[in-house]
Structure 1
Amino acid sequence: MPVILRVKGYRFWFYEADLDEPPHVHIGREGKEAKCWLSPIKLARAGKFKSVQLREIERIIDDNLKFLLDAWTKEQSKRANG
């Protein structure tokens, strides 16, 4: 579960067991954890974040979407080749 991105105190990561699902990230901050689909960007689980935080998370994902999708693809290829 390596963290692939840190922005404004939020951590973004993938769970290896989830790589069979459509592309998504888990987001954590202050003991809270949310899940967001990447294509299209859509909240899967709010994880007790406030709506203002969820909007900020979605903006961060949108600003880093290519990086996150590339990281997802890279993790999947490691799994397939490893």
Structure 2
Amino acid sequence: MKCHRIEELIELLEPEWQKDSDLNLLEFLVKLANEAGYQGELANLSDDILIYHLKMRHREKDEMIPGLKKDQEDDFKTAILKARGIIK
């Protein structure tokens, strides 16, 4: 599972880092952490924060996270029935 997360992070990180190629990796990670609003120590920065920030970096603030949007239902009843496996 960790290998998949590393690959996803690198895939998201590479094009964004190329846009700021004057920064070294650590400087770029600090920039991303600050953009994401992370206040802790850089050593405790999780890959989840980086992944979700990179996914949402150039999107509107109220736009839904891509992985969640596919599961969204417009009405509560349908959402419950799908969650319980009654309908597909």
TM exceeding 0.5: no
Q: Which has the higher helix share?
A: 2
Structure 1 length-normalised TM: 0.31
Say which structure is richer in strand. 1
Greater CA radius of gyration, 1 or 2?
Answer: 2
